[in-house]
Amino acid sequence: MNRFFKVLFVALIAKPLVLILLGLNVIHREKLPQTGPSIIAVNHNSHLDTLVLLSLYPLSLVHRLRPVAAADYFLSNRIIAWFSLNVIGIIPLTRNGSAKRDLFSDCHKALDNGDILLIYPEGTRGEPEVTSKLKKGIYYLVKDRDDVSIVPVVTHGLGRALPKGEALLVPFNCDVVIGNSLDNKSSPAELVESLTDSYKELLLQCLTYHEHD
């Protein structure tokens, strides 16, 4: 990752885009982790999720935020791969399960380095504004470490602005709700359960969410 490119990208593209074309209601901004090693576990509705999370950080910290992203999607095209790796600074993750042993080695390296990982536990953007079943990967990533805090974050509205499969960005204000870091990480099922509960609770604090949606 090139820190200069990333700062430039966040300053000139991510922040203005989020400020003018979107518009954020940030609830509990103070709970956002400012130092690593930590994990932000955020629901996934749109490519904008990553831009929004990046825009919440001051330019001096954006290089700390490392999105964990699917290798099969983001490395499939040379231009996107270059952009993802060098500008956004993603940590590519193999989704097909073939390379189990060293699956998380880059993630561990980043955590050891004090970075903040951005992980989408749904594993995919899926249906707009619908949270899919959460995957257990985070548990296996953190099970041997006790230095990592997991902060649940819910975004809402970004699936309206730019859903999967659409090219037209339609301006909408979006909510970002930051929760308390999870403490129940004793088993994969429990971690997924507390994360799911936390998402449900955070969603209710959104300005743009309606229960009948």
CB 82 within 8 Å of CB 4: no
How far is 87 from 74, CA to CA, in rounded Å? Answer: 13
Of the candidate residues 15, 64, 66, 160, the single one contacting another protein (CB under 8 A):
160
Distance of CA 145 to the CA centre of its chain: 20
E strand or H helix at 25: strand 24-27
Count of residues touching another protein (by CB under 8 A): 22
In the bound complex, what is the minimum distance in angstroms from residue 164's beta carbon to another protein?
A: 11
Of the candidate residues 94, 132, 173, 196, the single one contacting another protein (CB under 8 A):
173
Binding of another protein at residue 167 (CB under 8 A)? no
In the bound complex, what is the minimum distance in angstroms from residue 213's beta carbon to another protein?
A: 6
Distance of CA 185 to the CA centre of its chain: 19
* Piece of 8-16, 136-144, 156-164, 188-196 that binds another protein (CB under 8 A): 156-164
How far is 36 from 20, CA to CA, in rounded Å? Answer: 30
* Piece of 38-46, 68-76, 167-175, 192-200 that binds another protein (CB under 8 A): 167-175
Lay out the site mask for another protein across 184-213 (x = CB under 8 A, - = otherwise).
Answer: -----------------------xx-x-xx
- 195: tokens are 């994360």
Residue with tokens 């090219």: 167
